A = this chain, B = another copy of it.
Amino acid sequence: MKSQVKRMPNVRGEGERLRQEILDAATRILEETGREDALSLRGVAREVGISAPSVYRHFKDKGDLVSTVLDAAYRTLAVAMSKAGESAAAAGADPWARVRATVTAYRRFAIDKPRRYQLMFSLEYEPERRPSADHPIGTVLQAWTDTADAYLTEAAPGRRAEAQDLGIHLWTALHGQLVLWRTLPSPVAGSEDVLIELEESLLRRLLPTPETPSPTE
């Protein structure tokens, strides 16, 4: 029996490296296709250069692999939002501009890799298995309520109690725009300009206006 171009087992303790390679391959495939059933363990294994059952050494099953990929994506999104808001604040932007920076970061995340975004929010409906408080999607919610709170603190300190409500409003409405925007028939929507316009007009309606209104009216 001739030696094939087989991958030799990693030295002890380096098993984590293969895990990461599997994760990277799976991430790439999911970002390209946006469909969970387009990801096959055999395909991942083929790409990494191992055999399919070897994946089970690192992930419980296919669903576990997908979940791990998505968990990272939620955290990436939350970090991108926080960073955008903070660096806008550091640059001395006014509250409105800071919200805009965060929203833009969110939109970029969704539009740059639309299939990833689609996958992130096409969670199965499981009435009894609602995501627990520590589900990584909670980090995204936290980023939104933080954004809303930062805005209200500066623009309307008397209404800080509404921060969580406002955060949810912003998130859900923008999410709906992003999801339906490319589903709408061509003539009525489709260009990113249309989307940004929608987004702007939405923010104007949802954000309590500070005493010194922004020039966009």
Contact = CB atoms under 8 A, between A and B. Distances in A.
B181 A172 contact: yes
A79 B36 CA distance: 32
B180 A171 contact: yes
A143 to B, nearest CB: 13
A50 B189 CA distance: 43
9 closest Cβ contacts across the A-B interface?
A176-B176, A172-B176, A173-B173, A175-B176, A37-B37, A172-B177, A122-B122, A133-B185, A172-B180
Interface string A195-210: 0001001100110000
A179 B182 contact: no
Interface stretch (A7-15, A83-91, A134-142): A134-142
Interface in A72-117: 114-115
A189 B138 CA distance: 12
B188 A141 contact: yes
